[in-house]
C-alpha cells in the first residue's frame, strides 16, 4: 500500500486517569509495536509518540534502537520496517509543527474519544476518508490511559465520532482503537 496523508499521534500527556485527573502515563513497549505494525500495514508514514518526560524518551530510544540497529533488526526485518515510522516528540505542538513542515500545508488535527464530545465539532468517517482521498494531510490524535485531557480536545479542529457509541461496553485498548480507526479510514473493504 502506498503512503497516504494520514499521520497518527499517541499522547502520554496530558491524559486523564480513572477519576478524571490530568496525568502523564508511561510509555509501553506494546503500544510502540502493535500500533507501528498496524500503521505500517495501512500505509501511515509517521507514528508520533509524545511524552514530556526525559526518561521515557530514553525508553523509546532503547526499544526502537534494538529493532532498528541492534539484534532485532537482523532477526526480524519486518519489525524493523514497522518501528522505523516511530517519531518521538515532547508534545502535540511539536508534532503539529513537524507534520506541517513535512506536508507544507495546513494539517487537519482530529482527536479521538470513546465518548461523544458535545462541545467540539465532530467529524465522521466518510468525511475524513474524503479528505484523505483528496490527499489533504490529517493528524489523528489518540490518548493513552483514560483518554485525552480537555486541553487537547479544546485545541483540535475536530473530534472523530466514537467507534461504538451505542455499545453497552466501551473500554477498548488504545491498540484496538487505532487498529479499527485505521481500517475504517484506509481499509480496502470500505
Nearest of 114, 108, 162 to residue 139 by alpha carbon: 108
**What is the 8-class DSSP label of residue 161?**
P
Q: Give the SS3 label for residue 3.
A: coil
Which alpha helices (DSSP H) does 18-149 contain, by range?
29-41, 54-68, 71-75, 77-83, 92-103, 125-133
Nearest distance, CB of residue 61 and its own copies, angstroms:
22
Q: Which one, 92 or 147, has the nearer CB to its own copies?
A: 147
Nearest of 97, 109, 186 to residue 154 by alpha carbon: 109
Nearest distance, CB of residue 151 and its own copies, angstroms:
25
Using rule CB under 8 A, residue 19 touches its own copies:
no
Query: Hey, which residues between 90 and 129 contact its own copies (CB under 8 A)?
Result: 125
Per-residue binding letters, 150-179, with its own copies (x by CB under 8 A): -------------xxxxxxxxxxx-xx--x
Nearest distance, CB of residue 21 and its own copies, angstroms:
16
Q: Give the SS3 label for residue 153.
A: helix
Nearest distance, CB of residue 3 and its own copies, angstroms:
10
Choose, by CB under 8 A, the member of 19, 54, 74, 188 that binds its own copies. 188
Query: Hey, which residues between 40 and 99 contact its own copies (CB under 8 A)?
Result: 40-43, 76, 78-79, 81-82
Question: Are 44 and 176 contacting, i.e. CB atoms less than 8 angstroms apart?
Answer: no
**Alpha-carbon span 58 to 133, nearest angstrom:** 37
Q: Which three cell numbers stand for residue 153?
A: 480536545
Binding site for its own copies (CB under 8 A): 1, 18, 30, 33-34, 37-38, 40-43, 76, 78-79, 81-82, 125, 163-173, 175-176, 179-180, 183-184, 187-189
Amino acid at each position: 500500500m502506498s503512503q497516504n496523508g494520514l499521520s497518527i499521534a499517541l499522547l502520554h500527556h496530558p491524559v486523564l486517569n480513572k477519576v478524571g485527573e490530568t496525568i502523564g502515563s508511561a510509555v509501553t513497549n506494546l503500544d510502540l509495536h502493535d500500533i507501528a505494525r498496524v500503521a505500517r500495514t495501512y500505509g501511515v508514514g509517521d507514528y508520533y509518540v509524545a511524552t514530556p518526560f526525559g526518561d521515557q524518551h530514553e525508553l523509546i530510544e532503547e526499544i526502537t534502537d534494538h529493532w532498528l540497529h541492534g539484534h532485532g533488526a537482523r532477526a526480524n526485518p519486518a519489525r524493523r520496517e514497522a518501528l522505523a515510522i516511530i517519531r518521538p516528540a515532547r508534545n502535540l505542538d511539536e508534532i503539529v509543527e513537524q507534520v506541517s513542515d513535512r506536508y507544507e500545508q495546513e494539517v487537519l488535527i482530529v482527536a479521538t474519544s470513546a465518548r461523544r464530545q458535545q462541545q467540539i465539532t465532530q467529524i465522521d468517517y466518510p468525511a475524513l476518508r474524503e479528505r484523505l482521498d483528496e490527499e489533504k494531510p490529517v493528524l489523528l490524535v489518540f490518548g493513552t490511559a483514560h483518554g485525552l485531557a480537555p486541553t487537547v480536545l479544546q485545541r483540535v479542529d475536530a473530534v472523530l465520532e466514537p467507534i461504538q457509541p451505542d455499545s453497552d461496553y466501551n473500554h477498548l485498548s488504545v491498540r484496538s482503537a487505532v487498529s479499527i480507526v485505521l481500517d475504517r479510514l484506509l481499509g480496502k473493504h470500505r
